[in-house]
Amino acid sequence: MKVLAINAGSSSLKFQMYEMPEEKELISGLFERIGIKDSCYSIKVNGQKIKKEVVLSNHEDAVKYLIEELLNNNIVSSLDEIEAIGHRVVHGGDKYAETVVITDEVLKDIESFYPLAPLHNPANVLGIKAFQKSVPNAVVVGVFDTAFHQTMEEKDFLYGVPYEWYTDYKVRKYGFHGTSHKFLTNRMKEILNKEDYKIITCHLGNGGSISAIRNGKCVDTSMGFTPNAGILMGTRSGDIDFTIIPYVMEQTGKSLDEVINDLNKKSGFLGVCGISSDSRDVEDGMNQNDPRCILTHKMFVKSVVNYIANYYVALGEVDAICFSAGIGENSVVVRKDILESLSALGIEVDEDLNNVRGKEAVITSASSKVPCYVIPTDEEVMIARDAYNLAK
């Protein structure tokens, strides 16, 4: 069965097509600057990368070119060969705890969650509708970023605010990166080879989140009502005292929207180091003894360590900790400093084993009380798996 995995952003559309259940990647690509000047797309097929500059006025244009590439590269001879399309949907509220086939009712629900994810859900809907129009016979599936975390208990997802904020306005912790955390959980279950297990999954990228998992179910996670909560990130502040917001508004004359924009797009690594939101640039600055880059690194490590330690206590004990995503998979120094900071838990990093990038590996010594792993995540294949299983 040929299955498309789609991740639509407000001005982008990322895709991969698989032959399932073999999980063989047939083609992948990214459409960029949709609705913006200088739009283009790139594809990878048969080991070759191709980039083309085209006019992409909307998501339907992107889907049109995507279909042309599928046909021209003989990935499919007919659109009827595409039996399922899995769409990443950022927010499913507290209604969707698993992947579902997208019906008119589900689409209305996704639209009703716009206030919870104003930048992401509208873009996800644009992608869904564009494919429904162009590939009408495929089973369309919604894979929600928030779904995996819906197993949290009230004591873990509620805030200490008036209870009516939750019942009337849905104010609660939702968590994100759920597709990645689910992939990591499934892989760690295979590695540990047991049904009863407790793990901590660390998705560390430009956006980052950490989850506590017991027997395949999320107990707690670091992101909250929005993806801005939790650890320090590329441009996001992570956890702060909320009273900072009115104080900064008063001191600077900035509006609420301007301060929120600062917390989302000008904080985190970028805000502290003042150079870049990219962890690689921060590491370069550290190597040049830039004091603010060194400070950024220390703050990031501390924020991750705090959550891991918290979740270790919450779980009682931990069978494994895994690191994934751009920083987690590739930054040797970040992993080293995190694990050395967790030595009180009996964790011992092996510097030779830890000298790995982008590959699955154990990175702790044989005597480490908790084994720690690098596990490359694959959200697209997770989307394809869910779409395939429902389409069957």
Label residue 117 by pLDDT band (50, 70, 90): confident
Domains recognised in the chain with CATH numbers: 2-144 (3.30.420.40), 194-379 (3.30.420.40)
For residues 315-334, give the mean pLDDT: 94
CB-neighbour burial class of residue 314 (10 A; exposed 0-12, middle 13-18, buried 19+)? middle
The tokens describing 385, both together, are 């798996």
Q: Residue 2: pLDDT above 80? A: yes
For residues 294-308, give the mean pLDDT: 97
- Beta partners for 55? none
Q: What is the pLDDT of residues 62-114, one digit of tens each?
A: 889 999 999 999 999 888 899 999 999 988 988 899 999 999 999 999 999 88
Q: Residue 346: pLDDT above 90? A: yes
Label residue 135 by pLDDT band (50, 70, 90): confident
**Alpha carbon 202 to chain centroid, angstroms:** 11
* 241 annotated active-site: no
**Alpha carbon 133 to chain centroid, angstroms:** 27
pLDDT of residue 133: 86
- Residue by residue, DSSP assigns 47-74 as TEEEEEE----SHHHHHHHHHHHHHHTT
Q: What is the pLDDT of residues 10-53, one digit of tens each?
A: 677 889 999 999 999 999 998 988 888 888 999 999 888 999 99
Q: Residue 384: pLDDT above 90? A: yes
pLDDT of residue 60: 86
Which amino acid, residue 78? S
Among 61, 145, 319, 337, the active-site one is: 145
**C-alpha span between 41 and 64 (Å, rounded):** 12
Q: Which range, of 116-120, 128-132, 188-192, 207-211, averages the lowest pLDDT? A: 116-120
Non-local (6+) Cβ contacts of 116 within 8 A are 91, 93, 170, 174, 225
pLDDT of residue 147: 93
The tokens describing 123, both together, are 């873009």
H or E element in which residue 284 lies:
helix 279-287
pLDDT of residue 7: 85
Look up the pTM and report it.
Answer: 0.90
Bridge-based pairing of strands 13-19 and 24-32 is antiparallel
**C-alpha span between 127 and 60 (Å, rounded):** 8
Q: What is the pLDDT of residues 147-190, one digit of tens each?
A: 999 999 999 999 999 999 999 999 999 999 999 999 999 999 99
CB-neighbour burial class of residue 47 (10 A; exposed 0-12, middle 13-18, buried 19+)? exposed
- Secondary structure of residue 170 in the 3-state scheme: coil
Q: Residue 9: pLDDT above 80? A: no
Q: Which range, of 5-14, 68-77, 209-218, 280-289, averages the lowest pLDDT? A: 5-14
Greater pLDDT, 221 or 10: 221
Residue 308 in contact with residue 202, Cβ under 8 Å? Answer: yes
- Token match 């880059």: residue? 293
- What CA–CA distances, in Å, run from 137 to 80, 133, 151, 247, 272? 7, 9, 33, 54, 50
* C-alpha triplet 162, 165, 166: angle, nearest 5°: 105
